[in-house]
């Protein structure tokens, strides 16, 4: 097979358990985001826009939706039949020596060393399907080559008060990484690892093989492989990424990142033809907006029918909003049906949810309604992450019990 | 319906669409926010299971071929059968005004002969409807017809389109006794320009036409043949738009603002498929005011839009007032522009402060790739 300069391994097996109901039925990279995307679209589009044409997608947790979504990769021009490379989905497998689930990020790549070997690349880019960002990996690769580095880790400046939530790099002024601390209590820098790495292929191979036989290791890049490389004095450099980057790992950060997208008019700039975010589009007619409604600061997808007030919200495709409803600071996913006179504030409404008329959704925090729930008329749902139907027959407002997060 | 093949014929009356068809054939006329006219017959056919479809086109085919590609969106990028582009007999030199030109089919006789299907559906490219063709085939078989024409009993032409219609005399039981192009008479029904017949019968007709050099199926062949064959009319119930001129193009798009029509046409028997484009959801700004609008992905709307249709990637600047208008992809409307009753073709920029006023009967048409206002 043709030799490739750089291939990407995209980690997409994470459960994203802190997204709770949002990842109940699908892997975190497949979570819908931004009106018509799934989170993995950002990394996949970055690959296309950076000229990377070979991507291995490592899947494990509930991969059905993700697999179907990626398909042959044609949404990102990565269809494997058009050229050597393209997208390959890499689930855990068994061989004559048995087989195992992926034990960690490093282990998942280790188990697919043969996949990488067939392309015999010079560099391997490790990325994750969990992040919302637009990044040109080719610039990072260029700096990697200029530094003559063994490993380059992309970092982004985070707010100092949040620095203790991330893996923090302490570097000298040339970007040489002196120290890497996972979630430091007293951070010495605010450069957080984005989970984007470029490795020289022989070095990656050597250290993954080393890590694989270490019984103490959790087989994680951030926890084990990078610290081991630092201990052995390899040349690790930080690449300072400028731009928007979010790990949408929790319901709160998911909601916040969605609101960021709403307010940042440039992030999803359709008119920037050189840096589009691509997705597998659905066949939907244009959306219809009825007379006599107000729509402010919102993103509305194709196939929606809007006959209510929408303020600072994101509507995914084929959402139906009936007369007199008000939707504010919320995210309404594919196919949800909102009855008339419903008020929704600061909520995430799952796919194909049906909300009966005159219901009130929303409370102090972020309210999440699970996919396919059917709420009767006059329902009131406050701050909760899971709905438990208490009594199907009972009338009134307290038919749903909250289970606190 | 695997036993039926489809041929979409070439509409020759391009002049009826003025500037809209300067760069494109009728099949490729943009319609309804993200579609082109050909999507409707094409989707109706593929939704019914027809998988062998030929499209006749003239020299103005660039945008049509760009749109169709391999036929992927309609499931026509196939190993067996699929989508075929068939050049018209006259090339780009459209001197004849045949309504359904059999010569165009005759020059592609190989395609017809090599196909395996028993039946052929001939259809125009300008018929906006969501129709279950399996019922037409069932009707055709039940009547043991030689030829079935799909027709409408209640369609109202615009006055200027009356002469472009084909009128049928329908008897009880659905038998068609007379075909008169251009001349309506009492109790006549309107042909929807969709004909179902056996492939062998079409081949036989083509040989007869070739020997007589009479090629107009509707104008010359049917009015004579109707007496000799069993011709039946299948009545289509439901929304119908026959897009025969720029006026009816405007009218039928405006009808999409009726949610009932929107629902029936796009959420009806089958989805209408079109070439998929990437684009984020439409973005509505703080200053936007939207009433009764049909809008598409990728729009950026800061101004006031009412009773209008916005295609992909339309930008509406702050303070702009747009009423009763159709804006095609990549149209940019500057600040404080006033538009009423305007069709603006692709990639036009209307600069700050301009005013363009047409009316419902005679909308203003702005040709593709213009810059209006500003630098004069």
Which residues of chain A are at the B interface, by a Cβ-Cβ cutoff of 8 Å? 34-36, 265, 268, 270-271, 276-279, 281, 283, 285-302, 305, 310, 314-315
Q: A245-247 and A131-133 as β-strands: parallel, antiparallel, unpaired?
A: antiparallel
User: Does A80 score more than 80 pLDDT?
Assistant: no
pLDDT for res A1? 61
The count of C-alpha atoms lying within 13 angstroms of the C-alpha of A187, restricted to the half-sphere facing its C-beta, is 20
Q: Which range among A151-155, A157-161, B88-92 has the greatest average pLDDT?
A: A151-155
Buried b (16+ CB within 10 A) or exposed e, A61-87: bbbebbbebbeebbbbbbebeeeebbb
User: Does B357 score more than 70 pLDDT?
Assistant: yes
pLDDT for res B375? 61
pLDDT for res B234? 97
**Could you give all domains of chain B from N- to C-terminal order, each with its CATH number?**
4-266 (3.90.550.10), 283-372 (2.160.10.10)
What does the mean pLDDT of chain A come to?
88
Residue closest to A66 by CA, chosen among A104, A23, A17, A108? A23
Rounded average pLDDT over A344-364:
91
Q: Helix (H, G, I), strand (E, B), or coil: what is residue A267? A: coil
Inter-residue contact B307 to B165 (CB < 8 Å): no
Residue closest to A32 by CA, chosen among A404, A317, A367, A384? A317
CA distance B376 to chain A (A): 26
Residue closest to B244 by CA, chosen among B168, B164, B181? B164
Considering only CB atoms, B34 lies closest to which of A286, A296, A314, namely A286
Contacts of A264 in chain B (CB under 8 A): none
At CA A285, angle to CA B298 and CA A353, rounded to 5? 95
Read off the pLDDT of residues A208-229 as tens digits, 9 standing for 90 and up: 999 999 999 999 999 999 999 9
CA dihedral over A109, A110, A115, A119, signed as positive or negative: positive
Question: Is some CB atom of chain A closer than 8 A to the CB atom of B328?
Answer: no
Instruction: Return d(Cα A99, Cα B156) in angstroms, integer.
Output: 69
pLDDT for res B277? 87
Considering only CB atoms, B278 lies closest to which of A281, A286, A315, namely A281
pLDDT for res A296? 94
Token digits of residue A287: 């959306």
pLDDT for res A270? 66
Contact A289 B292 (CB under 8 A): yes
pLDDT for res A398? 32
User: Does A397 score more than 60 pLDDT?
Assistant: no
Read off the pLDDT of residues B318-329 as tens digits, 9 standing for 90 and up: 999 999 999 999
User: Does A17 score more than 70 pLDDT?
Assistant: yes
Interface-testing mutation among B270, B287, B297, with chain A (most A C-beta atoms within 10 A) = B297
pLDDT for res A402? 37
User: What residue of B is the nearest CA neighbor of A264?
Assistant: B283
Q: Helix (H, G, I), strand (E, B), or coil: what is residue A229? A: helix
Read off the pLDDT of residues A20-60 as tens digits, 9 standing for 90 and up: 788 888 899 999 999 999 999 999 999 999 999 999 999 99
Instruction: Return d(Cα B323, Cα B338) in angstroms, integer.
Output: 8
Neighbours of B345 (CB within 10 A): 23
Question: Is some CB atom of chain A closer than 8 A to the CB atom of B347?
Answer: no
Contact A35 B280 (CB under 8 A): yes
Contact A270 B259 (CB under 8 A): no
Which ipTM value was assigned to this complex?
0.91
User: What residue of A is the nearest CA neighbor of B74?
Assistant: A283
pLDDT for res A364? 75
Alpha carbon separation from A383 to A143, A369, A371, A390, B58 (Å, rounded): 47, 10, 17, 17, 62
Contact B294 A299 (CB under 8 A): no
Question: Which percentage of chain A shows pLDDT scores above 70?
Answer: 92
Contact A283 B276 (CB under 8 A): yes
Rg (CA), chain B: 21
Contact A287 B298 (CB under 8 A): no
Read off the pLDDT of residues A222-248 as tens digits, 9 standing for 90 and up: 999 999 999 999 999 999 999 899 988
Contact A300 B278 (CB under 8 A): no
Contacts of A81 in chain B (CB under 8 A): none
Token digits of residue A356: 């009966």
Neighbours of B203 (CB within 10 A): 15
Contact B296 A302 (CB under 8 A): yes
User: Does A271 score more than 80 pLDDT?
Assistant: no
pLDDT for res A268? 72
Inter-residue contact B278 to A278 (CB < 8 Å): yes
Considering only CB atoms, A295 lies closest to which of B267, B273, B288, namely B288
Considering only CB atoms, B294 lies closest to which of A268, A286, A295, namely A286
pLDDT for res B102? 94
Is residue B281 left, alpha or beta, with left meaning phi > 0 and alpha meaning psi from -120 to 50?
beta
User: Hunting for tokens 């490790």 — which residue is that?
Assistant: A126
User: Does A394 score more than 80 pLDDT?
Assistant: no
Alpha carbon separation from A62 to A13, A74, A181, B103 (Å, rounded): 8, 22, 31, 57
Question: Which percentage of chain B shows pLDDT scores above 70?
Answer: 98
Q: A123-128 and A236-240 as β-strands: parallel, antiparallel, unpaired?
A: unpaired
Q: Helix (H, G, I), strand (E, B), or coil: what is residue A337? A: strand
Read off the pLDDT of residues B185-244 as tens digits, 9 standing for 90 and up: 888 999 999 999 999 999 999 999 999 999 999 999 999 999 999 999 999 999 999 999
pLDDT for res A281? 80
Read off the pLDDT of residues A368-385 as tens digits, 9 standing for 90 and up: 888 888 988 888 887 544
Grade residue A83 by pLDDT with cuts at 50, 70 and 90: low
Instruction: Return d(Cα A198, Cα B75) in angstroms, integer.
Output: 39
Contacts of B279 in chain A (CB under 8 A): 270
Rounded average pLDDT over B103-120:
96
Q: Which residues pair with B122 in a beta bridge?
A: B7, B195
User: Does A342 score more than 50 pLDDT?
Assistant: yes
Residue closest to A72 by CA, chosen among A88, A61, A52, A93? A88
pLDDT for res A164? 87
Considering only CB atoms, A301 lies closest to which of B285, B286, B297, namely B297
Question: Which percentage of chain B shows pLDDT scores above 90?
Answer: 87
Alpha carbon separation from A315 to A1, A380, B295 (Å, rounded): 44, 21, 14
Rounded average pLDDT over A395-399:
34
Interface-testing mutation among B43, B47, B69, B284, with chain A (most A C-beta atoms within 10 A) = B284
Instruction: Return d(Cα A348, Cα A316) in angstroms, integer.
Output: 11
Contacts of A283 in chain B (CB under 8 A): 73, 271, 273-274, 276
Question: Is some CB atom of chain A closer than 8 A to the CB atom of B277?
Answer: yes
CA distance A184 to chain B (A): 38
Residue closest to A370 by CA, chosen among A351, A389, A355? A351
Question: Which percentage of chain A shows pLDDT scores above 90?
Answer: 66
Instruction: Return d(Cα A346, Cα A22) in angstroms, integer.
Output: 15
Contact A289 B272 (CB under 8 A): no
């Amino acid at each position: 097979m043709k030799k490739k300069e750089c291939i990407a391994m995209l980690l997409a097996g994470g459960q994203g358990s802190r997204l709770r109901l949002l990842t109940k039925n699908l892997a975190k990279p497949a979570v819908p985001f931004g009106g018509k995307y799934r989170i993995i679209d950002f990394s996949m589009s970055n690959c296309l826009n950076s000229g990377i044409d070979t991507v291995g997608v490592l899947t494990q947790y509930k991969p059905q939706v993700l697999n179907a979504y990626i398909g042959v990769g044609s949404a990102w021009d990565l269809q494997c039949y058009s050229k050597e490379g393209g997208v390959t989905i890499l689930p855990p497998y068994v061989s004559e020596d048995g087989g195992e689930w992926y034990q960690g990020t490093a282990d998942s790549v280790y188990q697919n060393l043969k996949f990488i070997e067939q392309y015999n690349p010079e560099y391997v880019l490790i990325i994750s399907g969990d992040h919302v960002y637009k990044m040109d990996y080719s610039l990072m690769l260029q700096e990697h080559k200029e530094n003559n580095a063994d490993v380059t880790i992309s970092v982004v400046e985070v707010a100092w008060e949040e620095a203790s939530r991330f893996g923090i790099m302490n570097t000298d002024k040339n970007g040489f990484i002196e120290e890497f601390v996972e979630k430091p209590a007293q951070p010495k820098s605010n450069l957080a690892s984005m989970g984007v790495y470029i490795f020289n292929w022989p070095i990656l191979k050597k250290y993954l093989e080393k890590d694989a036989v270490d019984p103490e290791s959790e087989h994680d890049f951030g926890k084990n492989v990078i610290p081991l490389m630092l201990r052995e004095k390899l040349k690790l450099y930080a690449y300072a990424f400028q731009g928007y980057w979010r790990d949408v790992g929790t319901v709160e950060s998911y909601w916040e990142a969605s609101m960021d997208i709403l307010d940042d008019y440039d992030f999803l700039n359709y008119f920037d033809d050189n840096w589009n975010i691509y997705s597998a589009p659905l066949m939907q007619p244009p959306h219809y907006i009825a007379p006599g409604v107000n729509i402010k600061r919102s993103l509305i997808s194709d196939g929606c029918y809007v006959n209510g007030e929408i303020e600072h919200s994101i509507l995914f495709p084929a959402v139906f909003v009936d007369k007199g409803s008000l939707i504010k600071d919320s995210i309404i996913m594919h196919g949800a049906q909102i009855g008339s006179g419903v008020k929704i504030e600061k909520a995430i409404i799952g796919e194909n949810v049906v909300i009966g008329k005159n219901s009130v959704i929303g409370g102090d925090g972020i309210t999440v309604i699970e996919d396919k729930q059917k709420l009767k008329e006059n329902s009131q749902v406050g701050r909760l992450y899971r709905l438990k139907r208490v009594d199907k027959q009972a009338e009134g407002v307290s038919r749903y019990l909250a289970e606190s997060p | 319906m695997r036993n039926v093949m489809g041929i979409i014929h070439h509409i020759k009356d391009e002049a009826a669409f003025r500037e809209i068809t300067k760069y494109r054939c009728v099949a490729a006329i943009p319609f309804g926010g993200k579609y082109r006219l050909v999507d409707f017959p094409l989707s109706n056919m593929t939704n019914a299971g027809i998988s062998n479809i030929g499209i006749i086109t003239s020299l103005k085919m660039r945008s049509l071929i760009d749109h169709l590609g391999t036929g992927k969106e309609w499931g026509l990028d196939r190993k067996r059968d699929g989508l075929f582009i068939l050049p018209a007999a006259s090339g780009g030199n459209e001197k004849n005004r045949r309504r359904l030109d059999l010569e165009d089919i005759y020059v592609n006789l190989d395609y017809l002969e090599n196909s395996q299907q028993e039946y052929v559906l001939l259809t125009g490219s300008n018929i906006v409807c969501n129709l279950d063709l399996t019922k037409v085939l069932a009707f055709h078989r039940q009547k043991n017809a030689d030829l079935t024409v799909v027709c409408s009993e209640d369609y109202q032409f615009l006055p200027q389109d009356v002469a472009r219609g084909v009128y049928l005399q329908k008897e009880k039981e659905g038998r068609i006794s007379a075909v008169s192009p251009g001349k309506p008479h009492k109790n006549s029904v309107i042909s929807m320009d969709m004909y179902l017949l056996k492939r062998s019968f079409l081949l036989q007709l083509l040989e007869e036409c070739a020997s007589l050099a009479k090629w107009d199926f509707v104008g010359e062949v049917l009015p004579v043949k109707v007496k000799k064959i069993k011709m039946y009319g299948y009545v289509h119930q439901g929304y119908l738009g026959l897009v025969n001129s720029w006026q009816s193009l405007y009218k039928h798009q405006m009808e999409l603002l009726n949610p009932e029509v929107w629902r029936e046409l796009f959420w009806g028997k089958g989805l209408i498929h079109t070439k998929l484009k990437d684009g984020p959801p439409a973005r509505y700004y703080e200053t936007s005011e939207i009433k009764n609008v049909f809008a598409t992905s990728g729009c950026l709307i800061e101004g006031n839009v009412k009773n209008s249709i916005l295609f992909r990637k339309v930008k509406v600047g702050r303070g702009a007032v747009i009423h009763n208008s159709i804006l095609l992809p990549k149209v940019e409307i500057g600040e404080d522009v006033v538009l009423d009753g305007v069709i603006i073709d692709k990639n036009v920029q209307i600069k700050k402060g301009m005013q363009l006023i047409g009316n419902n009967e005679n909308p203003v048409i702005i040709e593709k790739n213009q810059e209006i206002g500003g630098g004069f």
